[in-house]
Amino acid sequence: MLDAETQAKYESLQSILRDMESVLIAYSGGVDSALLLKVAHDVLGDRALGALAASEAYAPEETQEALDVAKQMGLPLLTLETHELEDERYAENSFNRCYFCKTELFTQLEPLAREHKLHFIAYGVNKDDDGDFRPGQKAAREFGVRGPLKEAEMGKKEIRAVARMLGLPVWDKPAMACFSSRIPYGSRVDVASLQMVYKAEKYLREQGFRQLRVRHHDKIARIEVERSEIPRLVEEQMSRNVTDALRKIGYAYVTVDLLGYRTGSLNESFFKKKKAMNEG
């Protein structure tokens, strides 16, 4: 059962999607886009399609899991490949990298929406995303891409609650983001760096760490796990095993972030610099 406020937001989401009449959902397999696609399909039937983009910036296991989840839920899905790394503006990794990523995605989704005669394109931005630096939202506005979850004022808590009620297998899936988000702004994004992050995070997940990031500072790996998991990570044998494994991947030094896992931690220094410039 949903509480009254969450139920009202869920009904608002249904109404928003119903008014859209037809929509192509940018689907990643995470809880936000999965819920959006599920509710859109419930409301609009075959007038709602999902589109999953494969890219070198995401783990192949994540792509396959997203396909499996959609199949399990009986949700119609188109697949495509994006090539954001071929855009030098993306690869140079400025503060608005995500703008160029979303521009590439939406550029490819537009003809798909036209081909299938779908009125709108939508993606899984939600109310909680307002608190972080999200240049991808600028691209969405320019392309006229809708954010029905945000329009319904749904944050992550409500999204997970509704997803759980509807039986989505990803209702409690940890937040995911492309591997480029692990690389500090100004450090070039290339396939070699993305592969190092992928292998490092894959190893840590195999050790049982669920919510994590490996921030890539050239030859330094800065590991973020939930604060409750830090004692297990720094236990003597585990820390030795993790260090050995990540050194084999190519890192010279392996560190642990004492503040633990948090989304957008690489944005923290950006906002500090911005604030200092404004005060100067």
| Active site residues per annotation | 178
Q: Is 125 exposed, middle or buried (0-12, 13-18, 19+ CB in 10 A)?
A: buried
Smallest CA-to-CA distance from 63 within 87, 79, 84 is with: 79
Distances (CA, A) of 200 to 57, 197, 220, 256: 14, 5, 12, 13
In one-letter notation, the amino acid at residue 148 is P
Residue with tokens 């855009």: 87
* CA separation for the pair 96, 43 (Å, rounded): 35
